[in-house]
Each structure stands twice: as C-alpha cells, then as structure tokens.
Structure 1
Amino acid sequence: MSSDYSAQHLSVLEGLDAVRKRPGMYIGTTDSRGLMHCLWEIIDNSVDEALAGHGDRIDVTLHADGSVEVGDHGRGIPVDIEPKTGLSGVEVVFTKLHAGGKFGGGSYAASGGLHGVGASVVNALSSRLDVEVDRQGVTWAMSFHRGTPGVFDDSAGIGPDAPFTPDPQGALRRVGKVKRGVTGTRTRYWADTQIFAASASFSADDLVTRARQTAFLVPGLAITIADARGEEPVTTSFSYEGGISEFVDFLAADSAVTDTWRLQGSGEYTETVPVLNDAGAMVPTELTRRCEVDVALRWGTGYETVTRSFVNIIATPKGGTHQAGFEQALLRTLRQQVEQNARKLKAGTDKLDKDDVLAGLTAVLTVRIPEPQFEGQTKEVLGTGPVRAIVANVVSTALKERFASTKRDDKAQTAQLLEKVVSEMKSRISARTHKETQRRKNALESSSLPAKLVDCRSTDVAQSELFIVEGDSALGTAKLARDSTYQALLPIRGKILNVQKSSVSDMLSNAECAAIIQVVGAGSGRSFELEAARYGKVILMSDADVDGAHIRTLLLTLFFRYMRPMIEDGRVYAAVPPLHRVVVINPGSKPNETLYTYSETELQNVLTALTKSKRRYQEPIQRYKGLGEMDADQLAETTMDRAHRTLRRVRIEDAEAAGRVFELLMGNDVAPRKEFIVDGSDRFNRARIDV
C-alpha cells in the first residue's frame, strides 16, 4: 500500500451506490437473513397502509424464477411529481434514501417504516424491480435495474436478464386502466446475485410465521402467502379478529394458571425533534407524543417464558425500553403483592427475582408511537426513552386493578399466580443452596459421578466430549475406539423416559435421566448454568436404525426441556455412524480399499460407480445393524476420530416451533399426534424405513 494519503484517495458514494457497497449496514447480512429482511421491508410498507386504515388484504407470492411479489390494496404510492426533486413519487420512494411519507408529514400516525430507506435499499440490491400502482383509474408502472430506472424488453420472457434500456427521465408508464376508487401497489423484484450469497433463499416457513404474527397484530387484515417454487403451489392465508389475545393463546403451550389478561392504556411524553419548515430548513421543535400500550399475557404451569414485543407491529426481538418497562412493572407489582400476603404465602423475607415472575409467562407487548427511535435499520431494539415509564405505569396500574378486583374468578386466579411465583422463588433458592453444597469443587471429586461413566483425563472443557452411547455392547467397542484424553463415555440402557409427558419428579427419579444431568454437571431447568457444564460437546451415538432414532429423539427431548442452553449454544451433536462397509478388491499385492456409506442411495451410487470402472468388491456387502457390530478401528475411523468423523449439530432455529413439534410428537395429547400421522401417511416414503 502506498504511504501517500490525500483527498484524492477519498471516495464519495452517491445515492444507492452506498447501499450496494455496504449492504450489511442496511440489511444486516447478505445471506438468507438479509434476503428475508428485504422482503420484510416491502411487506411492512403494505402493513403500514393497513394500519393507517387503507386496505385489508396483502398477497405475497414466491415465484418459481426466484423473484417475489407483494401486492396490497392501500392508497398506492403517489404518482404525481414531488416538487423538490422534480421526480415522480414512485421514483423518489425507490431511488432516494431517507425519502418517504413517514417523517411526520401526517400520512401515517404510527408506522413500521421510519427511516425512508426500505424500498430504495431493496431496489438497490435487486437486479430487477418492477412496481405497479393503481391510482386515479390508471395502472402506472416503472422498472429498475440495480436501482436505475428504465425499460426491460420482455418479449423473450420476464426476468432480470432481459435487455434493459435506461431512462434518465424515469418516466412512469400507463399500462392499464382500473375502476375509479381502486387503489393499490404491487412490487416484484429479483434479488441481485452479485450481492447475496449463492446459498441465500427465501424461507417459506419464516414467511408464514411472520405473516401469522402480523395477522394477529392487525385484527381484520388478511395475509395470503403463495409459494409457487415447488412442484405443487402451496397457499396459506391468515386473518384474526381477536388480536394479540389470540396470539397469546397460540403461543402458550402449557396448561393455564390464569386466563389471558388484557392490559391497555396510554401516556404522553414530549420529544424534541428536527422538523422541516416551509423554507426547507430543519428546525428543532418540541412535540407532544402519545404512546398507546396494549399487552396480553397469561401464566401457565410450565417454567418457560415466551414474550413477543412489537413497536407499530415491527418485532423487536432484542427488546428495548418498552420491554424493560414491562418487566420492571411485573416485578415491582408482584413483589408488592407477595409482601402484602407474605404470611399467607409463607414467603418469609425472601424477595422475588425477575426469573420467578417470568416463569411460565406468555406475553405479547405492543406499543404504538409516532416516529420511534430504533437502534439500527434492522429495528431490533427500541431506544425511545420515555416509553419505559409509560409502559411500566400502564402495566402496573392494570395489574393492581386486577389484584384488587372482588370478582370470584379474578381472586382465584391472582391467588394461584402468587402461589406459583412464590413456589418458583423457593425452588430457585433451594436449587441454588443444593448446587452450592453438591457441586464438584474440582476435577478430583469425581466419586459422586455415576459408576458407569467412563470419564476422560482432560479438564479442558472446550476440548472434552461426552459420548452418550446405546447399550453396553457399544460401550465396549467405544472404550477401545475413543481417545481417552478428551472423550468420555456414558452408556444408557435402551430407551429413556419420555420427559415431555412426565413430571419433574418422575424425570429426576429415572436413573438414566438423572445420570445424564449429573454427568453434564450444570443442573437442569431454570437452574441450569451453561458455564458449569463439564463437557464442550455432548454427542448422541445410537444405532442407525429406527430404535436408535427413537432413542436419539428421547435424549433430545430431555436436553430440549431441561438443558436447552446446551442446544442453543450448539454443544449437542448427533453422531453419524455408517450403514454399510464396502471392501474394494485391488489387483495384485495392493491392499484392499474400504469405503463406508451412510444411506441406501449412497451405497447404490458407490456400487454403480465401481461397476462402471470395472472394479471388484467383496460380497455380501456388510450392513451394520448396530454400533456393536463394528470393531474398534472401524468405529474410531468412521464415528469418533475427529479427523474423519461426521457430526450433525442440533440447532434451535425457532425454539417456539421446536417446542410445538416436541409437544405434538412426545406430549400427552394423543389426538393431534394421531391426526399428524394419518395426514402424513400419504407423503411417507416406505423405502426410508430401516428393515
């Protein structure tokens, strides 16, 4: 690099060039998450129209050619000329950063789009974007190629590779007529493969989840998702009238301790913001803002906490001032109630912790404010300060009214709630005391661990691995195959208890479950501490058959329900033992070659390739029915040796969806499981059954 550094070395990126140069600044990443974020930006514009009372339907289509289309029946993007730029409203929205109708101009009281960069960023990161607007009885159209307006020649087919002619004037085209009063916007775009990773793709599941969530948050809004990428198009529609109360009922998986309570209120605050005056200058102006708070919540018998927070229907997964105020009010109010009823509840002088209050809580928190301050374009954290006090006051006031109610149902539910939170507090204190007295102080105190544990010598947690193996026969082979420096073994006898349909006491009294929790050494449930785990990896090593898959599912159920941070931190793996061993006969004195395959399809491909190359192999092909059939060298080479093995990491991409699947497949309710099996029987591939 040259040591010279002068003004000529500085770069000034104009307009959308800055977006294409640094896309991560606007959409976070350029993988599938960034791709989905672009789609949310377009969908949220349509939702903002519905929030403003214009239009009650949004249609999203994932086309087979990789493009996506979003249509609504809102007012339509303005098509007249914006006086300052001399450009049409459509071109301003799609080509100018920080331009739009959500900067306090009166078009939207509360909206999710705030920065004026959503549509223009999507346009900049698209190889082609087409927009159609229905207004004034006319359908107007405009097209862009990587942010530049122009016209595509679609005579040979519609797509981003069609011949493109730039139009410096950016003229709107009249392409049709509509009835008077019919308005709306349709946007179709192709994400630019120069920007996004080749592996990036639209997730239909994420889209459906987001659509369902939005339908809950905007009662009466109908959202339809059409996925035309597969062999058969799949269409899903959502529309709810009950709002966030229905959302809470949908999210809650455990039995109810209280009904779904609705806490509503509002408050005002002042905020100094720059306002554009008639002369075109930004003048600091003190404005009075109104914050509308709407909360739906209920407590259940479980200990998991499910909270969703939103600002103007935009999800804030990392919380912010509104969520901080909500949690503060819950803790303060319930602490006061417990103190007032301490003798009756036998609570003593101990104080509730936030975790005690949040255990078993399912809540949806929404606030509506004009021009909220988010941290970053991805809008994951609300930063508007005064909202905290307003939310805390609304929640605290509504909860106190509920506890003061003389209605029989309210009195019974509040009493059950206080008993639950006090029970959680006592369990936490008891677990902490037990852990402090029972936890192994150093690596030498291993006498309390199960006798069947074959521990490793290393005390380096990051390097150590715990293999949970199926049966004593597999244990014998694994002992010889392991590296005793860092690989520990814990055998289990067959199928452990299904903890999804068992109580905590039943789980702890089960020898196999208790042994696993004891060996991991970090506790269970709410008292689980990831930092105390004795092993950096936990590897489930079961036979490659139906029974082995069932055992692995039962073990995953145990980890998901009682040691979930291990899965969330990516420390739980499934071993991948081979199904077949193919010995290739080499001519002469050259030693034979051994190949391992992991599926019937892979085996057939290997045999076909050997036959084509006229190479011989020993018959019959060895089929491993269990880990015990391997010798130590084979098990080490294929399943345990770090240099050659394959591991499948167990992930929780969507803990809520995973929880529903575990409850469906492993829970107490038989009818939904039976329905699931019957409905899926037609799609099941019998060849996949291990016989």
Structure 2
Amino acid sequence: MAQTSSAYNARHLSVLEGLEAVRKRPGMYIGSTDSRGLMHCLWEIIDNSVDEALGGHAQNIRVLLHADGSVEVHDDGRGIPVDVEPRTGLSGVEVVFTKLHAGGKFGGGSYGSSGGLHGVGASVVNALSERLDVQVDRGGKTYQMSFRRGEPGRFADGSRPRADAPFEPFTSVSEPEVVGKAKRGVTGTRIRYWADPHIFTPDAQFKFDELVNRVRQTSFLVPGLRLTIVDERRRPGTPGEHGPVEETFQHDGGITEFVDHLAVDGAVTDVWRLTGHGSFTERVPVIDAAGASRMEDLERSCEVDIALRWGVGYDTNLRSFVNIISTPKGGTHVTGFEQALLKTLRKGVEANARRLKAGNDKVEKDDVLAGLTAVVTVRLPEPQFEGQTKEILGTSAVRQIVAKVVEKELSARLNATSRADKAQASLLLEKVVSEMKSRISARQHKETQRRKNALETSSLPAKLLDCRTDDVARSELFIVEGDSALGTARHARNSDTQALLPIRGKILNVQKASVADMLSNAECAALIQVVGAGSGRSFDIEAARYGKIVLMTDADVDGAHIRTLLLTLFFRYMRPMVEHGRVYAAVPPLHRIEVVRRGKPNEYVYTYSEAELHRRLGELRDAGESIKEPIQRYKGLGEMDADQLAETTMDPAHRTLRRVRIEHAEAAERAFDLLMGSDVAPRKEFIISGASHLDRERIDA
C-alpha cells in the first residue's frame, strides 16, 4: 500500500486535471455515450489525419476495426512532433493527447484550414479510452507512447496488445520511446485505442455502414485522398460477417462526383461548379510570448466551392461542409447560399416572365430548392462553431462572401451564350416557375378541401363516395379500379367509416411527367384533392382527410401495375402519408374453394396464392372433404359479390392489409426511378436479367 501511495505524485494531478472534466461530463464533448458518441471519437481521430491531407502532407488513410473492439487509424502525414514543447516541457505527442485546447491548429501556422479546430479531439478520445497507443514515424525512427485513461505509461503486453494488460504509469520522465526504425523519407502516425467501457454504454459499437458513408463523403471532399476501411470483427449482419472485409475510396473529381453520387432523379441541368473566394477582418484574442492576452484584428480568407444540379424531383438534398467537417444544421454559409440562390433565380424569372408565363406571383425559397442536389463547402482558418460537435457554422462574415460568389457565378451560368448553357438555363427557369405554380395550386386545394359540414357546399369530385365520420383516425379511403369494382364495393363498404374513389384504369406515370402535367391530369388531381393535404413540398399531413389510404386493385398484372402507378404518385407527391404508415394495399383473394356440405350450406375457403391453393386442396382432400369443381379464379374485384368482397377484403375483422413502408428512402428512390423513370435502358436490362426468375403462370395472357 505504501508503495502505491509513493508512486502517486503531484505530476499525475497536473496531467489528469483537464481530462478528468472530460471523463465526468463526456456528453459536453462528444454529444452522448452511446454509439453516436463512440463514432464521434473516431471522427476526431480520422479528421486529424484528413487535416494532414488537406495541407498536402498525406495521401493515404487506413482505418482498421479490430476483432477485440479497438480501432486503429493510420496516415502517411508528417507525424505528430516528438520533440519537447518549450512551454510545458512535454513532448509534442503528450501535449496533443493530454492537454485540452492544444495542437497545431491555432493561429494558422501549421494548418491553413482544418477540421479539428478546438484542440480537444485527440485529448478527449484519450481521456475516454481504456487504452490508447500512438506510433509516429519521423526522422528515420519509430516512436511509441501509450496512455491508460489519459495517463502516460507502459503496458506489459504479451504476444499482442490488450486493454487489460498490466500498466505502469510514468513517475518521473515521460517521453516517446524509440521502438524501431522507419524507412528513409517515411513519415506518418498510427493511433490505436480501446474505448473505455466505464464511459460508453454496453451496446455502443462502431457502425460499419456509417463509417463507410462518412469515409466515402470525405473522399469526395478531398480529391485524390485514398481512404481504406478494414473490418475484422465478423459481426453478424455486416459485410464482414464471414471474414475480414476491405473497402477503398478515392474520388479525383471532388464534389462534382459527390453531387452525381447523391442525385437520384433525372437531370434538368448538368452539375454546375461555383467557386470563388473572399476576405474579411476578424477581431480575435491573441496570446503574446509573455502569456498576456490582447485583441487583434486579423485578415482572414475564405474559399468557396459549390457543386449543384437540379433534377426533375422536388426533394432537396443539400450537404454543407466547413473544412471537410459536415454541418448538418447549416450555418452562415448555407444561409448565404440560399439567399443568393433565391435572389438570382428571382431575377432570372422576372427577366423572362412573359415567356415563362410567370404572372405576378413571387418565387419563394421552396420553389428554388425543389429538386436541388448541392454540396456547399467553405474553407477558412479558425471558423467559429456552435459547440464542439461543430454542427452549425457561426462565423457571420462567411454569409456575405458565399452570397457574392453564388450570385456572380450563377448569374454567369444563367446568362451564358452557348447553346447548351442557354437550354439548361431555360429548363431550370421553367422548373422553378412550375414549382411556384404547383405550390400556389396546392395551397388553393388545401384551403378549399377541408372536410365540409352539412351546411357547407363541397367541391370534392362527384365520383367520390365519402364516408360520414368526421374522425380522421377511423376514416378509410379505398381507391378502387374501375366502375365494376366500385359497384360491388359500394354495397360491401361500411359507409360510416369507408369512402370510395374510383379511378379509370392506369393513371399518369408521375415519375417521368412534369409537375404541371401531373396537376392537369384528372385522376391525379382528383386524388390529391380528395386526400386534401396538398402535394409536394407543401404537403401537410395534419390536413389529410383520411387516416388510411387503401389501394384496392385486381389481383392480376394490370392491378399490380395500377398499384405501382398509385404508389409512385404517393411516393413522389404525398410521401409523408407513406412515411407515417398510412398507405395500404388491399389483399383480395385469388381463388374460392367451395366445400360441399351434405344437409348444410356449402362452405367457402379463400386462398391468396397458387401455393396456398394447392396446400389447402391437399388438406381438404386428405380430410375426405368433397370439393365442387371448377374452383373459381377471381380475375377482378368485380367478379365478387358484395358479401364476399366485404368478408375478404374490406371488413376490418377479416381482411388483410399490407402496409406500405419506406425503410430506406434512397433505395426506394432508386427503385422508383429504375422501374418508373424516363430512362429505358436500365429498366430493359433489369427486365431481361430477371426474366429467368419469372413465374409464367402469374401472367394473364
């Protein structure tokens, strides 16, 4: 006991003083102690390596997820300094990993622009790690230093490093140890750490998919940088489940390729690149050689690089970055971008108002952002963020710089004289005006299509058979195919809660039609009018008149096609209904088996697939039941009696409904674009490649 006490001296207190605050309040530094916080720690280490690449000192970064739960990050940058920092008397490695607000990113000496800005990333990760090892290649030597929960020392490792290996803290002098030789001219840093289980929740883990997305994103933002991920954990449900998996990313085209990767809809314009720079004066505190602080005006430069394109859809996909750090909640750079975008396109519409038939209505921000995919990046030294998690840029001068660059560059694009540029500018302005008109039309629909009471007149379509209830949660709208099905469904429904809207055959394929074409189509307009919540960006799910939308089409190929067209309309223009799980597909039976009962009414058994039909027939015959031939095969809903339709398809007590969900919006977007879009070649390839798997018996011919 006495030996332990003598080994604990004042020097340890000075090392742990700042890091103890991190361990006591980790949420202040990494947001949370679950998987999100664990991933944030990894981003801090990776971003330090990326900063070396931004400065032109690194070309390769490698991330390894080890089977023992640790993670390792390699880079071929300059390597963390190992010499003594004069103020503290500690090596550069120890300063970086044990001192908060320390590093080479203050004052702009070592890094013109960087992702790690507050000097706390590496030290916070060290404080929250059970063990951290760092190796540095510099000057022909390999140096190593280890830490246990922020304290430097040595681990007595056996054949491989372990977090629970015996640890001996340094008591007098701490400095990186030379553990090998590095090849001449080779430099770099390797960091491996084990997250502290006392800090993070038991279910916290590194998410491979999230890591891949972030690394891919970084490869777009730093052209030419090669990033590799290796997963050795063999986690069930991951790509490396059956063995180590490796993925490498390198994109020399930068954010132009990033926009191409993000965009999923058909193009209205090519990817346009808007670049420029500006300068501003910032008053900041500066610490002189004597340690005194004074305010000083510094001249700052800000580089702006934006890639954007408009597509035929109405969703906006805007990604913003400051020195490769994602700012998901925006900031001054995004504000300046959107303001300049609106101002420039308003001018363009006003200058061509007569040709575009824009009228006196004003273009709004939502009209301009509809269908936009954009990546907005700015680089500047020491940007001001709101909090360590860096989700919002706060440097006010950036707004005006970005706005000037966008206004100048975009105006040049819109006023270009080449035939290709003029055609794209014309298509863009037509799209903006079309979005403006659809927004106004949707607002008018929403204002007039509230549920009417008995004393009000209704402008709903005459073919709608509405229900009586005013309770949206209980109400259901059945969209039925054709008048014959409507006639049967009219008698089968519960008129208190179930409304019917017939459609005539196959509606417009809205995936490759314009907004104006969609609104002018009678069937689409009627459906949007009946739902009563608007369309597109102005859709308000709180105003929807029905709690459930049920697509009730025939159980054949044509019915499936009509259902797909309807789902395309909902996905494209009323997506919140799908996202909230309020769109369903009815499941009508395919067959009716009539079981003969002597002295009793015959019994009817319904089946919903060929496999189920054969199984039930086998069961009935094995039981000695007599079956009336032929077995009825329903070609359409109109072939059913009202009682049969109610029992099998409409009565909540007996029916089966399939809820339509969007588990992965981007994958769903790609699927809709493949199957319903205007590009024929990929769809033809999909049909040909899947033809061998088709059950020919399912085709009605």
Scaled to the shorter chain, the TM-score interval is: 0.7 to 0.9
Residue 82 of structure 2 is aligned to residue 82 of structure 1: no
Residue 152 of structure 2 is aligned to residue 146 of structure 1: no
What is the aligned partner in structure 2 of residue 221 from structure 1?
225
Aligned match of 2:196 in 172, 192, 196? Answer: 192
Aligned match of 1:66 in 48, 65, 69? Answer: 69
Residue type matched to 2:198 in 1?
Answer: Q
Structure 1 residues 432 and 637: alpha-carbon distance in aligned structure 2, compared to 1, 3 A threshold: closer
- Over the matched positions of the two proteins, sequence identity in percent amounts to 67
Aligned match of 2:176 in 152, 161, 172? Answer: 172
1:454, CA displacement in angstroms? 8.4
Aligned match of 2:26 in 16, 23, 26? Answer: 23
1:25, CA displacement in angstroms? 1.7
Say whether the 8 Å CA contact 1:567–1:652 is kept in structure 2: no
Secondary structure in 1 aligned to 2:229?
Answer: strand
Residue 252 of structure 2 is aligned to residue 241 of structure 1: yes
Superposed CA offset, 1:527-554 (max 9, x none):
31233234678799999xx999999988
Structure 1 residues 564 and 35: alpha-carbon distance in aligned structure 2, compared to 1, 3 A threshold: farther
Which shows bigger deviation, 405-414 or 362-371? 405-414
Say whether the 8 Å CA contact 2:581–2:659 is kept in structure 1: no
Say whether the 8 Å CA contact 1:272–1:284 is kept in structure 2: yes
Aligned match of 1:137 in 128, 134, 140? Answer: 140
Q: CA separation in 2, counterparts of 1:505 and 1:24?
A: 49
Q: TM-score, normalised by structure 1?
A: 0.76
What is the aligned partner in structure 2 of residue 347 from structure 1?
358
Which shows bigger deviation, 89-98 or 164-173? 164-173
Residue type matched to 1:284 in 2?
Answer: M
Secondary structure in 1 aligned to 2:72?
Answer: strand
Say whether the 8 Å CA contact 1:454–1:490 is kept in structure 2: yes
TM alignment of 1:405-444, pairs within 5 A: 405-440=416-451
Structure 1 residues 511 and 336: alpha-carbon distance in aligned structure 2, compared to 1, 3 A threshold: closer
Say whether the 8 Å CA contact 2:332–2:395 is kept in structure 1: yes
Q: CA separation in 2, counterparts of 1:366 and 1:671?
A: 35
Q: CA separation in 2, counterparts of 1:548 and 1:98?
A: 64
1:159, CA displacement in angstroms? 3.1
Q: CA separation in 1, counterparts of 2:552 and 2:20?
A: 51
Gaps of 5+ in 2: 1-15, 235-240, 588-622, 625-643, 694-701
What is the aligned partner in structure 2 of residue 100 from structure 1?
103
Say whether the 8 Å CA contact 2:19–2:123 is kept in structure 1: yes
TM alignment of 1:457-496, pairs within 5 A: 457=469, 459=471
1:468, CA displacement in angstroms? 7.4
1:210, CA displacement in angstroms? 1.6
Secondary structure in 1 aligned to 2:18?
Answer: coil
Structure 1 residues 183 and 385: alpha-carbon distance in aligned structure 2, compared to 1, 3 A threshold: same
Q: CA separation in 1, counterparts of 2:465 and 2:162?
A: 61
Say whether the 8 Å CA contact 1:455–1:489 is kept in structure 2: yes
Secondary structure in 1 aligned to 2:286?
Answer: strand
Say whether the 8 Å CA contact 1:67–1:189 is kept in structure 2: yes
Secondary structure in 2 aligned to 1:348?
Answer: coil
Secondary structure in 2 aligned to 1:367?
Answer: strand
Say whether the 8 Å CA contact 2:134–2:144 is kept in structure 1: yes
Superposed CA offset, 1:164-210 (max 9, x none):
33334543222221112211111122223333333333222222222
Say whether the 8 Å CA contact 1:536–1:571 is kept in structure 2: no
1:314, CA displacement in angstroms? 1.1
Residue 394 of structure 2 is aligned to residue 374 of structure 1: no
What is the aligned partner in structure 1 of residue 119 from structure 2?
116
Residue 663 of structure 2 is aligned to residue 660 of structure 1: no
Structure 1 residues 256 and 665: alpha-carbon distance in aligned structure 2, compared to 1, 3 A threshold: closer
1:79, CA displacement in angstroms? 1.2
Structure 1 residues 668 and 259: alpha-carbon distance in aligned structure 2, compared to 1, 3 A threshold: closer
Superposed CA offset, 1:30-65 (max 9, x none):
232222222211111111100011011111122233
What is the aligned partner in structure 2 of residue 320 from structure 1?
331
Superposed CA offset, 1:49-97 (max 9, x none):
0001101111112223322221111111111122222222112212222
Say whether the 8 Å CA contact 2:550–2:586 is kept in structure 1: no
Residue type matched to 1:205 in 2?
Answer: D
Structure 1 residues 511 and 395: alpha-carbon distance in aligned structure 2, compared to 1, 3 A threshold: closer
Structure 1 residues 417 and 465: alpha-carbon distance in aligned structure 2, compared to 1, 3 A threshold: same
Q: CA separation in 2, counterparts of 1:475 and 1:155?
A: 76
What is the aligned partner in structure 2 of residue 388 from structure 1?
399
How many aligned residue pairs are there?
615
Q: CA separation in 1, counterparts of 2:659 and 2:93?
A: 48
Say whether the 8 Å CA contact 2:133–2:146 is kept in structure 1: yes
Secondary structure in 1 aligned to 2:185?
Answer: coil
Say whether the 8 Å CA contact 1:538–1:571 is kept in structure 2: no
Structure 1 residues 559 and 189: alpha-carbon distance in aligned structure 2, compared to 1, 3 A threshold: farther
Structure 1 residues 116 and 48: alpha-carbon distance in aligned structure 2, compared to 1, 3 A threshold: same
Superposed CA offset, 1:134-159 (max 9, x none):
11211112222222323333326433
Say whether the 8 Å CA contact 1:492–1:512 is kept in structure 2: no
Q: CA separation in 1, counterparts of 2:462 and 2:200?
A: 51
Secondary structure in 2 aligned to 1:75?
Answer: coil
What is the aligned partner in structure 2 of residue 207 from structure 1?
211
Structure 1 residues 272 and 525: alpha-carbon distance in aligned structure 2, compared to 1, 3 A threshold: same
Residue 309 of structure 2 is aligned to residue 298 of structure 1: yes
Say whether the 8 Å CA contact 2:265–2:673 is kept in structure 1: no
Q: CA separation in 2, counterparts of 1:145 and 1:363?
A: 43
Say whether the 8 Å CA contact 1:519–1:534 is kept in structure 2: yes
What is the aligned partner in structure 1 of residue 265 from structure 2?
254
Structure 1 residues 415 and 266: alpha-carbon distance in aligned structure 2, compared to 1, 3 A threshold: same
